[in-house]
Chains A and B, each alone.
Chain A
Amino acid sequence: MGYLVVIMAVLVGAGLALWALAWVSVFLLLPLLYVVMPFAFAGGVLAVCYLFGAAVLALGSSAPKLVTPDDVVAGRELPEVKGPFTRDRAWPVYTTAQSRHDLSTAFEAMGSLLNTVWTYVTGRTKAVGHWWVWIPVIGVVFPVLISFSAGAIVAAVVLYALSWLVLGLTHVVWGLVSLSLRGLDSAVRKLRRATGSCPVCYHVTTLPAFPCDGCGEVHRDLRPGRLGGVWRRCGCGKSLPTTVLRAAHRVAPQCPRCATKLREGGAVTTDIRLPVFGPVSAGKTRLVYAGLVALRDDLTSAGGELAFVDDDSGAVFANASAIISSGQNTAKTEAASLPHALTARLTRGRRRALLHLFDAAGEFYADREDNSDLEFLDHAHGLVFVVDPFSVPWVRDQLGSQSAAQVARANPATAHPDGVYQVTARRLRDYGVDTRRRSLAMTVVKADLLAGLSPGDGLRRGSVRDWLCEAGLDNLVLSAERDFGEVRYFVAASVPGHAAGEGMRPSAPFEWLIGKSGAGDLLPATRAEEEKV
């Protein structure tokens, strides 16, 4: 009987306890959770908003990794570039590299917060050491924590997506601006036929290197791109303008191969490269000197200007001008080293061009092996081939022994013109130069010395080709016309007194080739028309 009373009492007590628990749950805990859980959710959202902001501004304990110019050079953050060089040492555009680190750090900060909160609650509960403590924790604290976590996760996903959306739009705008600038820069330079010619190593580039005017670090590709749309920030902190056209106004461009400073205006103005080739002592240097002097006179009379942008070329021209005006002999060109380009800036109105003349010693053209280093031949817009009439056997035969003094005065070339031409033409073919797209100005020089002598009777403007054939150089003529896209024949006198009226202007072959290079509008109209004859 006593057992029954005890059992009944226990059952009644348990029932009362369950009833009390149900009452507390329904009437106290549930309303409390109903109020607290939305607050917890909102708390999670706001906490993540703060955490994202703090992470992006690097205010929190874990600042995002900073993508530095060193990372760019090491190829750790941006796609690798083709070619032998790494990317330039500069800060990348925010949306191309740094944004990834900022947003992932912000997302990780949310994960870290949730981990901390949950670890704290479960750790403290475990620390109490009684199993029943888990009942109120699971019943009361966990729902609040779940709400907080849900708010944090939802907010993080939304903020992450929104950030990428905003950054994506910025990226699109940046991309459009970069592409437009890059296209405009490229189009303007293409229209101008602007390339950069290295005066030393002869490398020709459409993309010159630019040294930073703050630290001297060389930037090999300053076009708009991942390292800057409108401006680029060098690793040293200095801002550099993107696009070749803008950069060249501030910093002197360099040859990307040998780092030699390009001539002023290089890579942004029309670039004309004209090598002059022929046998030793043919009169190449004299033709270059006399041609430049005549070209200067022609341009000046047309309201233009021929000037020099580097001291070396200026000094060579001053010497050339003195030699031509005084009628002195020209010194033999040094055969020990390759020539530097003789560069002149041609200006007429708003039009500008850089004319590079390459005058290597004749020894380089005598042998196929010797002319391998003459890279300027490969990049030439047109070539001037110098024929010394006194080196032609037919002329020597005609003159006979009675004109030995005249021949000696002419200091004739020793090699036959045809042989030198064939060696150079073979070199061009070997290096894959499409000579059918090049023009050749075949120029018979020393015409002043031949004037009045019987072999020179037919040597005048308009009949040079016939004269060459008559002189036994028909193979040379046929080879040149077969090899080159266009061949024109000139006769030149390189001494004062034989001027334009006699059709022997030494500038005529250069002016024709300048016109063929797309800079014909620089020349006086009469000259341009004359060259068409």
Chain B
Amino acid sequence: MSHDPPLAYRVHRIALVVLYAVVALLFGLGLWLVYEPVWAQILDMISGTRQQWTSS
């Protein structure tokens, strides 16, 4: 008795993992686009603080 599942199982599972990866990628991309002004604000704040420190 072989307990190695059929190839079709692997194909289905890999397809599901690809689906999850795509969802994660789309989520990350969406998050980046939606929060772009926030990231810009934070980055500006960080660079402003650094300039303040270096100038003083």
Contacts and interface: CB of A to CB of B under 8 A. Distances in A.
Interface of A: 35, 38, 42, 45-46, 49-50, 52-53, 56-57, 66, 68-70, 91, 93-95, 98-99, 102, 155, 158-159, 162-163, 166-167, 170, 233, 235-237
Interface of chain A: mostly helix, strand, loop or mixed: helix
A159 B20 contact: yes
Interface string B18-56: 011101100110010001001000100000000000000
A42 B9 contact: no
A98 B28 CA distance: 30
B22 to A, nearest CB: 10
Nearest to A154: B27
Contact of A53 (B1, B6, B12, B20): B20
A442 B55 CA distance: 121
Contacts of B5: 66, 91, 98
B27 A45 contact: yes
Contacts of A167: 12, 16
A445 to B, nearest CB: 57
A233 B12 contact: no
Interface residues of B, number: 25
Interface of chain B: mostly helix, strand, loop or mixed: helix
A57 B1 contact: no
A474 B38 CA distance: 107
Given A49-B21, A56-B20, A102-B16, 8 more contacts: A35-B42, A38-B35, A45-B27, A49-B20, A53-B20, A93-B8, A99-B12, A159-B19
What are the 6 tightest A-B residue pairs by CB atom distance, in nearest-first order? A237-B2, A49-B24, A53-B17, A94-B12, A233-B6, A53-B20
B41 to A, nearest CB: 10
A93 B8 CA distance: 8
B16 A42 contact: no
Interface of B: 1-6, 8-9, 12-17, 19-21, 23-24, 27-28, 31, 35, 38, 42
A68 B14 CA distance: 20
A166 B15 contact: yes
B16 A70 contact: no
Contact of A236 (B1, B19, B20): B1
A35 B2 CA distance: 52
A500 to B, nearest CB: 59
A42 B38 CA distance: 15
9 contacts: A45-B24, A52-B16, A53-B20, A56-B20, A57-B17, A69-B1, A91-B5, A159-B20, A237-B2
Given A38-B35, A102-B13, A170-B12, A66 B3 contact: yes
Contacts of B27: 42, 45-46, 49, 155
A94 B8 contact: yes
Contacts of B12: 94-95, 98-99, 167, 170
Nearest to A67: B5
Contacts of A57: 13-14, 17
A166 B4 contact: no
B19 A94 contact: no
B28 A42 contact: yes
| Residue from B3, B12, B21, B35 whose CB has the most chain A CB atoms within 10 Å | B12
A4 B16 CA distance: 73
A45 B30 CA distance: 13
B6 A91 contact: yes
Contact of B23 (A35, A98, A162, A235): A162
A91 B8 CA distance: 10
B23 to A, nearest CB: 6
B24 A56 contact: no
A70 B2 CA distance: 11
A159 B20 CA distance: 7
A53 B21 contact: yes
Contacts of A237: 2, 4
Contacts of B23: 49, 155, 158-159, 162
Nearest to B25: A49
Contacts of A236: 1-2
| Residue from B3, B24, B42 whose CB has the most chain A CB atoms within 10 Å | B24
Given A99-B12, A102-B16, A163-B19, A235 B1 contact: yes
A124 B18 CA distance: 37
A101 to B, nearest CB: 11
Contact of B19 (A98, A162, A235): A162
Contacts of A95: 12
A163 B16 contact: yes
Nearest to B34: A38
A304 to B, nearest CB: 44
A52 B8 contact: no
A70 B20 contact: no
Nearest to A232: B6
Contacts of A66: 3, 5
Given A98-B9, A235-B2, A46 B28 contact: yes
A110 B12 CA distance: 21
